Amino acid sequence: MEQNPRQENIQRDDQGLYETGADRSEERAILVGVNFLSPRPGAVHDFADLDELERLADTAGATVVGRMEQRRQSPDVRTLIGKGKAEQIHDMVEALDANLVIFDNDLSMPQGRNLEKLIGARIIDRTELILDIFVRHARTRQARLQVGLAQLEYYLPRLARMWTHLERQAGGIGTRGPGETQIETDRRIIRRRITQLRRDLARIERTMATQNKQRSRRFRVSLVGYTNAGKSSLMNQVTEAGVYVRDQLFATLDATTRRVETGDGHEFLLTDTVGFIRKLPHHLVESFRATLGEVRDADLLLHVVDADDEDREGHIEAAEEVLHSVSENPAERILVFNKIDTLDERRLESLRQEYPDALFTSAVTGEGLETLLARIDERLRSEERRMIVQVPAAEGRSLAILHELTDVIDLEWDGPCATVTLRVDSENYGRVVHLPGVEVLEVRSRG
């Protein structure tokens, strides 16, 4: 049977990941966005963002040679855009020697198949493009498993005999039941693989949960924001973490955590996280649950924004939407405008006046980083108390818990008792004072 052109280049690797075999350097793409104008009063309009889509295509290695936008009241069931518009795109493909058409809107499998017949080029949608980028940028086992899971969950309802090679890998003879169609066999194989990937990720999450428990007594700060805002560059400047940095979307997929000391002797954990974009596919949000858990568990979020971005308001809004999809009640956020070295004095001053409570930094020159650390230090001081407590030697368990819950500054033995000077945050203060055998001698300060 003829193979569907949308899946002819898909290959499986040993991590359960499916990679496209096409050479991106040879792909000439036309971008298509459909703006749906709902007739219902008060309904939210769905507008395409072809500028962002072009950056995604560029990150994936395709050369954008044309664009087309359309306004419709509702999608065409067969082709999303209608037969007439599809024929116009066919003419563009021939005139511009394009071989790929990328839709900013999600396509159903029948829509993609019908469009390929009418247009005569390979068709992918926004989600497929993002998944392809994630495949290319996944470096650790966790990231590869997460991307593989997102891909399988995306493709499962879109099966069109694209998985026939998997049946052979699964053993071939004896794998199909009586009367079972190939598509049913393929779905069963994919579901089994999804289950295995979820188990593998669950094991990683349990390991991460153990690590997080050990870190729980430390103040945790996460860098969040629109992709390519400079989060990883800031991370490297503050911590010398050596996080991979490149001027492209989704250069970083894995969470990286490092310990940071402030000028006042406080410590906190700083985590770099995956960047956000508009309409981030829910498959990715769900699959990256463990990575995004760093955002959920943070005590403070640094929302990093590209100061030179013309659409910074839209990107701020997009990042906030993702944050609220990850956590119903995100932690306190500090707005940080990065890349101020790209602005002249007039534009920078205008930005300061527009956002008086924000911070302004440059990961290139280091400007503003001392102010950033001072703001975090101020937040740390507002959360903690410094205490002196006394613990009998017989209460060794309580002494061990003090080390788990607090930052022990000094410990001196005086006969059968230990005098402990410590810092404790507001969350653990009550637990400390009620530990068996612990006597509070002094609460030195708060802040």
Topology at the third CATH level for domain 217-367: Rossmann fold (3.40.50)
The strand pair at 332-338 and 407-414 is best described as unpaired
Query: Shortest CA distance to 22 belongs to which of 68, 67, 66, 63?
Result: 63
Average pLDDT over residues 358-375: 93
Q: Average pLDDT, whole number, for the chain?
A: 79
Res 43 pLDDT > 50: no
Res 3 pLDDT > 50: no
* Rounded-to-integer distance, Cα 60 and Cα 277, Å: 15
Helices (H), 267-388: 282-287, 289-296, 312-326, 345-354, 369-383
Report the side by side order of strands in the sheet with 359-360.
256-261, 267-272, 219-225, 300-306, 332-338, 359-360
Least confident segment among 23-37, 119-133, 335-349: 23-37
Give residues with Cβ within 8 angstroms of 206, minimum separation 6.
none
CATH number attached to the domain at 18-134: 3.40.50.11060
Topology at the third CATH level for domain 384-446: Alpha-Beta Plaits (3.30.70)
pLDDT tens profile 372-420:
999 988 887 777 788 899 999 999 999 999 998 888 889 999 889 999 9
Query: Shortest CA distance to 271 belongs to which of 226, 301, 306?
Result: 301
Least confident segment among 96-100, 269-273, 427-431: 427-431
